[in-house]
Amino acid sequence: MRFLHRKLWKKKPESTYEPSKTEDSWDRNRISDNLDVNINNIKTEIGSGDLIINLSTSHPDHGIRFACVYIDNLISNQILSDYSTELGKILVSAERMGTNNPKAFFNLLINQFSSFRRVSQESRLEKVLDGLLSGQLVFLIDGHSIFLSIDAYSPEGRSVEEPTSQSIVRGPKEGFTEKLGINISLIRKRIKDKALKSENLTVGNRTKTKVTLMYINGLAKQEIIDEIRRRINAIQIDGILESGYIEELIKDNKYSIFPTFLNSEKPDSVAACLLEGKVAILVDGTPFVLTAPALFAEFFQASEDYYHQFHISTFVRLFRYVALALSMFVPSIYITLASFHQEMIPTPLLISMLAQREGVPFPTTVEVLLMEVVFEILREAGIRMPRIIGPAISIVGALVLGQAAVEAGIISAVIVIIVSITAISSFAIPNYGMANSARIVRFIMIFLARVFGLFGIFMGTLALLLELCRLKSIGVPYMSPFAPKGKTAVKDTILRFPLWKSMARPEGISADTSPRVSDKDIVTDKQKKQSEFR
């Protein structure tokens, strides 16, 4: 190839020759068989102080020159020590065999390192740079135009701990970490199935963040897998620092305030979603794993629901939906009743409310908005403050400010009760993203109630239902199995039926229609009585 290239170049006059784009990119992308040229190219491309280049020879007198290149702090000292030990064994073997051929020495490296680590070989310079930035050890050999890269990525990070955003009473206490490999192992530890597949993608023009898709082959629909893969590959952005980037860039309805992807820190929750035929999206550097498609009812479910008796789980789920309604509508309903429909309030309660409002200088709507804004500021302050003093500031601030405002006559006492009910109800929603959506809806409903009264609340509720029915998650209707209605609408949505009754997989999501629970080994009460009678 090079000989032909030189011949063609000589046939052309020197004044008229211009290298083509193909030739220029070929020369730039291929690594040379000259070790010094390759090292200079790497130094030119990655001129960083943490770039380590160790030059050595296989024999002090007549050995082969080679270089071990890596970026410091991406590889632990223990891994470097292990590789130094193995490299010493290789040099002893090469000296004993009298190997003086670069290709033979390259094969010796492959045979030795592949026994305990994943190795790969390439001939392009961009692959050398990508490997170094991804935490790989790169071996370059003088006289050989192919390099060897060894996976040695081991940055410092947090170990497996209890999730901080999803507290439970009963269930596994393990949580995801910022290391992608550990997160994958936590899922595989729970699903020991050969059909569990993982696909590696790279997103971010500068960060080159590793993204892994995990799904169970045969359960997940192929069209859903292909669509998620296509959307992620189509992302053009400088960097992905958290899974929230992926969620925002690939969602169906980009301007909707409702989350259409579930995120979780708990491996058991993600494993349960995979068993339903969903796809998990793991992003390196974050403990939050996305699962899709996500349905509206799933944002009010918790993994703990399946670890308690179904009676208790159903009871708690009903209260979560009640909490959602209270969080969105209590302030607006109070404004409507106090401003437009006083006749709907019982007379003793109305008299008490009017007595409390004596001397209050602001209208009811201003009172509600004032307290809601103050509480939102206190909530944000409690989250951003250090963990030790954050809860104390939020609780003390709410109590002191509320009591002082009532005594000063700025607001009435009933407003404090209304805002407190609203705030506590929002905390009962298991998913933080859905709770944030309820906060936005609450302010919209307050505005509609002030302008249009009870009619505004009805119209706002109707618009809310239409918006929820319009949404989709990776092409799957958001309100499924309610709209469109499915056969299993009540078995694992608002109600939590017993496991032996919830045998069907989610409709429209799973490609496998076989039951999740086999009814062969389940003994019903009727069968038990018949056996006792016999």
- Quote the CA–CA distance of 524 and 452 in Å, as a whole number: 55
pLDDT at site 235: 94
Q: What is the mean pLDDT of the chain?
A: 82
Q: For residue range 137-161, what is the model confidence (pLDDT) as tens digits? A: 898 988 888 888 888 877 667 788 8
8 has a pLDDT exceeding 70: no
Domain assignments of the chain as residue spans, ordered by start? 20-151, 180-294, 315-477
More confident residue, 390 or 230: 230
The arithmetic mean of pLDDT across residues 282-305, rounded, is 91
The dihedral built from the CA positions of residue 399, 405, 409 and 413, taken in this order, carries a sign that is negative
More confident residue, 63 or 277: 277
pLDDT at site 503: 64
The arithmetic mean of pLDDT across residues 203-222, rounded, is 92
pLDDT at site 99: 67
- Quote the CA–CA distance of 254 and 411 in Å, as a whole number: 39
Give the CA diameter of the chain.
106
pLDDT at site 481: 85
| Helix 413-427 with 310-339: angle, nearest 10 deg | 150
Q: Which of 76-80, 104-108, 258-262 has the highest mean pLDDT?
A: 258-262
The arithmetic mean of pLDDT across residues 455-476, rounded, is 94
pLDDT at site 14: 39
| Helix 267-275 with 180-190: angle, nearest 10 deg | 60
| pLDDT level of residue 474 (50, 70, 90 thresholds) | very high
More confident residue, 483 or 391: 483
pLDDT at site 249: 94
Task: Provide the percentage of residues in the chain whose pLDDT is more than 70.
Answer: 85
pLDDT at site 119: 84
54 has a pLDDT exceeding 50: yes
What values do phi and psi take at 345, rounded to 5? -90, 135
Give yes or no for a contact between 419 and 446, defined as CB atoms under 8 angstroms apart: no
Beta strand spans in 287-421 (E): 289-292
Q: What is the side-by-side order of every strand in the sheet holding 147-151? A: 51-57, 65-71, 136-141, 147-151, 119-122
pLDDT at site 57: 84
- Quote the CA–CA distance of 154 and 73 in Å, as a whole number: 8
pLDDT at site 303: 86
pLDDT at site 488: 60
Q: Which of 37-51, 107-121, 271-285 has the highest mean pLDDT?
A: 271-285
Q: For residue range 386-399, what is the model confidence (pLDDT) as tens digits? A: 766 666 666 666 66
- Quote the CA–CA distance of 98 and 101 in Å, as a whole number: 9
More confident residue, 348 or 391: 348
pLDDT at site 98: 67
220 Cα distance to chain centroid: 18
pLDDT at site 263: 93
Q: How far is CA 300 from CA 25, 126, 446, 472, 499, in A?
A: 54, 46, 24, 17, 18
